[in-house]
Amino acid sequence: MTAVFVAGLVAGYGIAIPIGAVGVYLVAVTARTGWRTGAGAALGIATADGLYALIAVLGGAALVPLLTPVMAPLRWASAALLVFLAARGALTALRTHRARESATSDGGGKPLTPSRAYLTFLGLTVLNPMTVIYFAALVLATGPSTPPTTTARAAFVLAATLASASWQLFLATGGALLGRGPAGPRGRLATALLSSALITGLAITLVV
> Is the separation of the CB atoms in 78 and 188 below 8 Å?
no
> Is the separation of the CB atoms in 196 and 91 below 8 Å?
no
> What are the residues facing 111 on neighbouring strands?
105
Across all residues in the chain, what is the average pLDDT? 77
Cβ neighbours of 95 (radius 10 Å): 13
Q: Give the Cα separation of 94 and 101 in Å (integer).
A: 10
> What pLDDT sits at residue 42?
96
Angle between helices 150-180 and 2-16 (to 10 degrees): 40
Cβ neighbours of 124 (radius 10 Å): 21
At 152, the pLDDT band (50, 70, 90 cuts) reads: confident
Model pTM above 0.85: no
Cβ neighbours of 40 (radius 10 Å): 24
> What pLDDT sits at residue 96?
65
* Predicted confidence (pLDDT) per residue in 47-97, tens digit: 999 988 888 788 765 666 666 676 677 677 767 877 887 787 777 767 766
Angle between helices 71-99 and 114-126 (to 10 degrees): 150
Q: For residue 122, give the DSSP letter.
A: H
Question: Based on the structure, what is the number of domains in the chain?
Answer: 1
> What pLDDT sits at residue 48?
92
Residue 159 has pLDDT above 80, yes or no: yes
* Predicted confidence (pLDDT) per residue in 107-145, tens digit: 444 568 999 999 999 988 888 766 766 776 666 555 444
Question: How many angstroms separate the Cα of 169 from the Cα of each of 67, 75, 157, 187, 205?
Answer: 29, 25, 18, 24, 25
**Structural domain boundaries enclosing 106:** 2-207
